[in-house]
Amino acid sequence: MNLPVAVVLAIFLPFFFAILVPYLERIVKHNIGWFSALIGLISFLLLVLISPEIIRGEVIHYSVSWIPSVGVDFGIYVDGLSLLIAFLASGIGFLIMAYSTEYMSHREDLARYYQYILLFMGSMIGMVFASNTIQLFIFWELTSITSFLLIGFWRNKPQSVYGAKKSLILTAGFGGLALLTGILLLRAITGTFDIPTILADESLKVLIKEHDLFLGTLFLIFIGAAAKSAQGPFYIWLPNAMEAPTPVSAFLHSATMVKAGLYLIGRVHPIFSGTEAWLIMVAGTGLVTMVVAGFLALRQTDIKGLLAYSTISQLAYIMAMYGYTTYQDPSLGVVAATYHLLNHATFKATLFLIVGIVAHEAATRDIKKLGGLRKEMPITFVIATIGALSMAGVPPLNGFLSKEMFYEASVDIGASLGQPYNLLIPMIAVIAGVLTFAYSIKIIDGIFLGKRNDEHLPKKVHDPSIIMLGPAAILAFIVVLFGIFPSIPMSFIIEPAVSGIILEDISIYASLWHGFTVELLMTVVTFGLGIIIYKKYDAIANWQDEFNKKHPTFSLNYYYDEIFGNATENAKKISLKFQVGPIRAYLFPIVLIAILSVLFPIIILSVELTPITFNFETPPYELIVFILIITTAVMAAIIPSYLPAVIAVSALGFLIGIVFIFLLAPDLAITQILAETLTTIIFVLVISKVPQTFKEKIPRNILYRDILISLTVASTVFLIMLYATQGIIEPFESVSHYFLEKSILLTGGHNIVNVILVDFRSLDTLGEIVVIFLAALGVYNLLHSRGERK
């Protein structure tokens, strides 16, 4: 098969099938999960089909013109890095959907569930294969939106809704918009949205790094990535996202979506890395986050919450390692990061699936209520132990290897930075490792070891069926396989992915036993300290609880709730300052600003032009009309009752219609007279309902103020008109020449007014009739709502 076609199919098959899901669900009922899983499998196999090409070191790049006027193409760009994430998305997606067929009760709205998951899978694959930053952004936001839908899957649970909103605000709102701005800045610097173009062009990369906007661009793109991967202050959305069904958490919030931010960091790595800003931002955020999140994980009693914090901490490892690339060999950190990215996806998804199994069978996820299940759930126990020990970094599992590489990279970067970093960075790394070790052991100990907690557990607990165990077992098998034979993932997955980041071919050698090295010593220290910390586990958790009770404001969540929880109230307070009510209050600033902006230039002009000579020659019949206009205007202002005043205004309008006839503008005259007729009728209809005289007594000062405003407006307009008609202000070139010349030629119409309305400026007219439409609806609503209030 044509390779680009395979890629496009892998992206759009899930989207296409997602549309069909509700209809298929009516036919196959709850078996819909298997059909959806099949789509995941097909996408996965399509990617397998293209992988030999990528392993050989080729890239697939194919694009079609999409919005050529701004240089946006729709294209695919497949290299090792994007293929790695796409494999995770489709492969784990397949396992998750198969697992869900058993996990999700048949009473749930399964069509919606699988629809969202397929949409997410398609968006994720589309995001990583996007060859264009705009396209990347669109798919990026799609993953945020589908994640929002999945977190809020149980719509009736307030916590679900809260978690869904939080993730949407932070990832799609903060992160997504920052990313978009960053993309636009990048385009401003380079002049292109095309990712391969920037990656391939060395001079462009130099240009970016030396540009004034470099820091801002990097910062905004980094914010996007950090929000998505729950790094730095944005971590707070991930624990609340655990309200999603557990398979969703395994899929989105451990293996794939949170990896999108890391993918982005990897993607822009060749563009931004090698600078101090990159090191401080990416590695700095990673180092702080890994320790803080690891520490907070100790306090969690919900296993899913614990896994959420551990995910944040583990993602921070990867983030830090991508950041470790300033001065020395960049490949060390990148290899370690990419390898850990793969390993984390495998062992963390395993653990989430195990949590799902435990919650499904034992009906609780609270670590205090669980315990001693090893005999009843032996297979689950073994799989969980593999996952947890891999996370803890115990040999011979894959987590051990990437942890070793993490230590090695930390020592390396520390050494290249010199004092005091040569000690500080390895120390932070070890602390994070110790915390990881402690909570990993807690998962095994809390659920499976110790005494059975008969009080809270059902009488009979047993291993689930093969459908739920299978996916977890497959992942656990991969964990072991990649640990014992690291050359398999290295040569088939990591090498292509890394060469996609550092843009060079690379050959990595890795083996389980690599001699007595500094990092091995660090691992031994980690295990030793980890056991000590584990003994104090409960004490630390209690201390954290106490601290939180004493200082409730010392928490990011507190500020999040303050800002977003009260958003509607605060918006109301602010808008009430502007939306005061009486129309006079709005008119005043509008008129004032309009007048002042004209009055000053006019006065300056008058001073410059003095003395001015005027020419007031007017035919007598026009003079009569003008005198009548003035008379009616004055009458309208001073008559103290409504009906005569309205009639005066309408007479004024008709007279202006006559002026249009003098000016040889029949269209305007007809319109003016007709519109005047209608307004008069409506006016009369309205005032027949209200008292015929003005009862309202206007205070003196307001009256004077309003007279002053009116006089200013009138005199300004008078001056403008005077200067314009007397030719004192240099007239602009009339636009009518163009229309006179082109009207018949282009449109065949002789009436230029109409031709302008329906041809040259027809978009304006369309806007105007929309206004009429909205005005009609507005009047309806006003009258309607008033009727209801009665």
* Least distance between other proteins and beta carbon 665 (Å): 9
Whichever of 280 and 746 has its CB closer to other proteins, that residue is: 746
Whichever of 691 and 731 has its CB closer to other proteins, that residue is: 691
Of 293, 252, 263, 100, nearest to 167 by C-alpha is 252
Q: Are 355 and 303 spatial neighbours (Cβ–Cβ below 8 Å)? A: yes
Amino acid in the structure at residue 99: Y
* Least distance between other proteins and beta carbon 653 (Å): 13
157, two tokens: 């649970």
Q: Are 215 and 177 spatial neighbours (Cβ–Cβ below 8 Å)? A: no
- CA–CA dist 506, 81 (Å, integer): 13
* Least distance between other proteins and beta carbon 773 (Å): 5
Work out the burial of residue 787: count CB atoms within 10 Å of its CB; fewer than 13 is exposed, 13-18 middle, 19 or more buried.
exposed
* Least distance between other proteins and beta carbon 639 (Å): 22
* Least distance between other proteins and beta carbon 778 (Å): 9
* Least distance between other proteins and beta carbon 337 (Å): 48
* Least distance between other proteins and beta carbon 662 (Å): 15
647, two tokens: 């009639």
| Interacting residues of 467 by C-beta distance below 8 A, sequence separation 6+ | 98, 99, 101, 102
Q: Are 85 and 256 spatial neighbours (Cβ–Cβ below 8 Å)? A: yes
Q: Are 263 and 334 spatial neighbours (Cβ–Cβ below 8 Å)? A: no
How many helical (H) and strand (E) elements, i.e. helices and strands, does the chain have?
35, 2
Whichever of 590 and 664 has its CB closer to other proteins, that residue is: 664
| Interacting residues of 52 by C-beta distance below 8 A, sequence separation 6+ | none
Whichever of 382 and 757 has its CB closer to other proteins, that residue is: 757
Give the C-alpha distances (Å, rounded to integers) separating 465 from 7, 103, 303, 304, 477.
34, 10, 22, 22, 18
76, two tokens: 């695919």
* Least distance between other proteins and beta carbon 755 (Å): 7
E strand or H helix that includes residue 65: strand 60-67
Strand partners, 67: 72
Of 93, 123, 362, nearest to 248 by C-alpha is 93
Whichever of 301 and 680 has its CB closer to other proteins, that residue is: 680
Give the C-alpha distances (Å, rounded to integers) separating 129 from 8, 123, 147.
9, 10, 19
Q: Are 89 and 139 spatial neighbours (Cβ–Cβ below 8 Å)? A: no
Whichever of 303 and 756 has its CB closer to other proteins, that residue is: 756
Whichever of 601 and 666 has its CB closer to other proteins, that residue is: 666
221, two tokens: 């793109």
- CA–CA dist 538, 300 (Å, integer): 11
* Least distance between other proteins and beta carbon 650 (Å): 13
Whichever of 735 and 775 has its CB closer to other proteins, that residue is: 775
Whichever of 181 and 747 has its CB closer to other proteins, that residue is: 747
Whichever of 618 and 754 has its CB closer to other proteins, that residue is: 754
* Least distance between other proteins and beta carbon 186 (Å): 30
Whichever of 517 and 688 has its CB closer to other proteins, that residue is: 688
- CA–CA dist 434, 446 (Å, integer): 18
* Least distance between other proteins and beta carbon 765 (Å): 6
Whichever of 28 and 686 has its CB closer to other proteins, that residue is: 686
* Least distance between other proteins and beta carbon 548 (Å): 57
Of 309, 8, 17, 34, nearest to 131 by C-alpha is 8
**Is the backbone peptide bond immediately before 420 cis, with ω within 30 degrees of 0?**
yes
* Least distance between other proteins and beta carbon 747 (Å): 6
The site for other proteins (CB under 8 A) is made up of 666-667, 670-671, 674-675, 677-678, 681-682, 685-686, 747-751, 753-755, 757-759, 762-763, 765-766, 769-770, 772-773, 775-776, 779-780, 783, 787
* Least distance between other proteins and beta carbon 67 (Å): 15
Whichever of 55 and 659 has its CB closer to other proteins, that residue is: 659
- CA–CA dist 492, 53 (Å, integer): 11
- CA–CA dist 39, 14 (Å, integer): 6
- CA–CA dist 123, 18 (Å, integer): 12
Whichever of 240 and 743 has its CB closer to other proteins, that residue is: 743
- CA–CA dist 506, 498 (Å, integer): 8
Of 277, 256, 259, 275, nearest to 267 by C-alpha is 259
How big is the CA angle at 54 (ends 51 and 60), to the nearest 5 degrees? 105
